A and B are shown apart, each in its own frame.
Chain A
Amino acid sequence: MNVAGLSRRSLAKLISAFAGARVITAQGESEPQLPEQAIYYANHSSHLDFLTIWAALPADIQKRARPVAAKDYWGSGLRKAFAEQIFNAYLVDRHGSSHTRQRASHSGVSPKGQIAGMAEVLSAGDSLIIFPEGTRGDGESIAQFHGGLYKLAQQNPEVPVVPVTLANLGRILPKGEVVPVPHLSTVVFCDPLHVAPDEDQQAFLTRARQVLVDCLAQHQATVDTADDEGGASAAGSQPGGDGP
């Protein structure tokens, strides 16, 4: 292994240790078997999210995985160098290509340029790490997904869509806080999804989101199973159960 590869692995180890990250499958096994190329999507509550997923990936997959990050935060100065040089991030403009036609980020429609760019990353053979909520949430509920995940999955049926649940990262570094507080986090690689032949956008996004909602309730002690605010309009309510 060359120097760059070695330092990348050390950095990954450091990030995992800091996040106290345990990496498992939905069945609870360690060392998940991941496909060579995939669209990874995860719940989003912290700046640590993409770092931790990146660090959790095995070396050969990590080399070809590109986290999608927002240009408005990661797009300038030191952050940009950090994101692009080390993590090979793919920066997207959250608000569309032109500032004159900024749209609300909850519109559920992604600006055209983003999807085309991400599709290019996939056709180059690289994997994507995306956060379909579009912005960081409170770490306990998961917001409705934007449509980009569906479009990418539908246009690239040969690439599996892998749900990744991130538990407790939003407690280490919540939105709006500067000092991270150590907690033990969990990264769960769930079973891959594919868009069914006659599945429309809403059905697929609801299904994809529900995988994360169920998995998060299992792995984060502060998430109440019965309390699913973000999904009020989504698929049927959770069975009562006796908590996490």
Chain B
Amino acid sequence: MSDWGLGLLDSSALRLLGGVVVVLVLASAIAWLLGRRLGPTSTISNLKQRINAWWLMVALIGAVLAAGETVTIVLFLLLSLLALREFITISPTGRGDHKVLVWLVFIIPAVHYWFLWEHWYGMFSVFIPVYAFLFLPARNALAGETKGFLQRTATIQWALMVCVYAISHAPALLQLPVAMELGREAAEGSSPGDGGATGAHLLLFLLIVVQGSDVLQYVWGKTLGKHPIAPSVSPNKTWEGFIGGVLSATALGAALWWITPFSPLMAALLAFISCVMGFAGGLVMSAIKRDRGIKDFGSTIPGHGGIMDRLDSLCFAAPVFFHAVRFFYA
């Protein structure tokens, strides 16, 4: 690795972020030109809002990676909590669930992220799917409200699964290089930041590929999209957008192999899996939104909607990418 850098960002990570900034400059310039050519339509102003939000999100990720693993973990904990807030707002929970929701929001995510920060892989893996998933329904049964019990329990567990457990696998990538270089045994209980620049590379690779795939699917779908994949779920997801987006994002992933420990072919394969998972995440979240009769999860990110509207693909891609890398490389 190079000898200059900023926290977890070494010179190649900074070069990569520089590349992202160049893309954003181009996007902003194109949006500005389109705005001059076509006038201030709502599509153009939405496009500008989206791009401005991208600037902020890229700056935020760059800043927390520069500040280190602990700060990055805190950011993802906050994102989990914001996502959880959106998710329980649209869930069919009632007053009888209040005590369980206090556990769901204030205690379980903090404990889970603490295991993550401790690099305690075993507890990080099982705390939510074993302990939290058994505890929450038991606590709710004690509260005594049985109307819609199964539906409410399932919703609460799923909220925890996607908003906390799944999302937390993105910052978990930061510690993966320890297991890759020194073995899984040595990785247990290693210090925060031990993953170093390689961990930041893995996280940036996943974020750029998955979010890039979202953008590329949108672009392909808007320009060539004709045949909807699941018209009753989302009229905007087309075969043209899916195939074009996933293939071009896979190519993008292969082109980024130099920042990862992977060969170009392996980078392409992992990128492909992540994009397909990301697509599945977007589709599932669309189905949930359609069921609850809403367009967006919230309005936290101008132009994009809620936190969950932006993280839907990452929710599904991060755990699978994490375990694929861990399986093949650690």
Which residues from chain A sit less than 8 Å from chain B, CB to CB? 20, 22, 138-140, 168, 170-171, 174-175, 177, 179, 181-184, 221-222, 242-244
Residues of B within 8 A of A (CB): 81, 84-86, 88-95, 98, 101-102, 104-106, 292-294, 298-299
Residue contacts A-B, CB under 8 angstroms, 14 given: A22-B299, A171-B95, A179-B102, A179-B106, A181-B98, A181-B101, A181-B105, A182-B85, A182-B105, A183-B88, A184-B89, A221-B91, A221-B92, A243-B293
User: In the complex the two chains form, is B102's CB within 8 Å of A184's CB?
Assistant: no
State the CA gap A171–B94 with chains docked (Å): 7
Question: CB-CB < 8 A to A138: which residues of B?
Answer: 95
Complex Cα–Cα for A128 and B88 (A): 32
- Using A181-B98, A181-B101 as known contacts, say yes or no to A168 and B89 having CB atoms under 8 A apart: yes
Closest 7 CB pairs of A and B: A181-B101, A182-B85, A184-B89, A183-B89, A174-B95, A179-B102, A221-B90
User: With A181-B101, A221-B292 in contact, is A171–B106 under 8 Å at CB?
Assistant: no
Q: Which residue of A lies closest to B292 (CB)?
A: A221
Known: A171-B93, A174-B95, A222-B94. A181 touches B293 (CB 8 A): no
Q: Indicate whether A20 sits within 8 Å of B85 (C-beta atoms), given known contacts A179-B106, A181-B105, A221-B292.
A: yes
Q: Chain B: interface secondary structure? A: helix
In the assembled complex, the Cα of A183 lies from the Cα of B106 at a distance in Å of 13
A243 vs B299: C-alpha distance in the bound complex, in angstroms? Answer: 22
> Given A181-B105, A243-B293, A139 and B88 touching (CB < 8 A)?
no
Bound-complex Cα distance A52 to B102 (A)? 21
Collect the chain B residues with CB atoms within 8 Å of residue A182's CB: 81, 84-85, 105
| Closest Cβ neighbor of B294 among chain A residues | A221
Q: How far is the CB of B147 from chain A (nearest CB, A)?
A: 12
Which A residues lie within 8 Å of B91 (CB)?
221
From residue B15, how far is it (CB to closest CB) to chain A in Å?
37
CA distance A181 to B94 in the complex (A): 12
- What CA separation (Å) do A138 and B94 show in the bound complex? 9
**Bound Cα distance from A222 to B85, whole angstroms:** 15
Residue of B nearest to A184 (CB): B89
Instruction: Given A174-B98, A243-B293, A244-B293, decide whether A181 and B88 contact each other with a Cβ distance below 8 A.
Output: yes
Question: B98–A177 contact, CB under 8 A?
Answer: yes
> Chain B residue with minimal CB distance to A45?
B95
A222-B81 contact given A181-B98, A181-B105, A184-B86, CB 8 Å threshold: no
Name the residue on B nearest A242 (C-beta).
B293
C-alpha gap A177/B95 in the complex (Å): 9
Q: Which A residues are CB-close (under 8 A) to B106? A: 179, 181
A139 to B94, CA, bound (A): 9
User: Which residues of A lie under 8 Å from residue B299 when comparing CB positions?
Assistant: 22
CB distance from B153 to the nearest CB of A (A): 16
Give min CB distance, A217 to chain B, whole Å.
11
Bound CA span A25–B153, Å = 34
A170 to B106 CA separation, bound complex (whole angstroms): 18
Taking the closest CB of chain B, its distance from the CB of A22, in whole angstroms, is: 6
Shortest B320–chain A CB gap in Å is 29
Residue numbers in B under 8 Å from A242 (CB-CB): 293
Task: For the complex formed, measure the closest distance between the CB of B93 and the CB atoms of chain A, giving whole angstroms.
Answer: 7
- The minimal Cβ–Cβ distance linking A25 to chain B, given in whole angstroms, is 15
A20 proximity list for chain B (CB < 8 A): 85, 89, 298
Q: Say whether A181 contacts B89, CB under 8 Å.
A: no
Complex CA gap A170/B102 in Å reads 14
Q: A179-B102, A221-B292 are in contact. Are A139 and B89 (CB under 8 A)?
A: no
Q: Within 8 Å CB of B298, what residues of A?
A: 20, 184
Distance between A110 CB and nearest chain B CB, rounded to angstroms: 28
Smallest CB-CB separation from A167: which chain B residue?
Answer: B89
Asked if residues B293 and A222 are in contact (CB atoms below 8 Å), the reply is: no
Question: A219 to nearest B CB, angstroms?
Answer: 10
Min CB gap A31→B, angstroms: 13
Minimum CB–CB distance for A244 against chain B, Å: 5
Distance between B223 CB and nearest chain A CB, rounded to angstroms: 30
Bound Cα distance from A138 to B96, whole angstroms = 11
| A177 proximity list for chain B (CB < 8 A) | 98
| Most interface-central of A138, A168, A222 (chain B CB within 10 A) | A222
Q: Which residues of chain A come closer than 8 Å to B86, judged between CB atoms? A: 184
Task: Give Cα A130–Cα B170 distance, bound, in whole angstroms.
Answer: 47
Give chain B nearest CB distance to A21 CB in angstroms: 11
* CB closest residue in chain B, given A30: B299
CB closest residue in chain A, given B99: A177
- Report whether B102 and A181 are in contact in the complex, using a CB–CB cutoff of 8 Å: yes
Besides A174-B98, A244-B293, 18 new A-B residue pairs in contact (Cβ under 8 A), listed by A number: A20-B298, A140-B94, A170-B95, A171-B89, A174-B95, A175-B95, A177-B98, A179-B102, A181-B88, A181-B102, A182-B84, A183-B88, A183-B89, A184-B89, A184-B298, A221-B89, A222-B94, A243-B293
In the bound complex, residues from chain A placing their C-beta under 8 Å from that of B89 are 20, 168, 171, 183-184, 221
Cβ B92 vs Cβ A222 within 8 A: yes
How many angstroms from the CA of A138 to the CA of B294 in the assembled complex? 23
Is A222 a contact of B98 with CB atoms below 8 Å? no
Assembly CA distance A229 to B23 (angstroms): 56
Chain B residues near A244: list those with CB within 8 A: 292-293
What B residues does A168 contact at CB under 8 A?
89
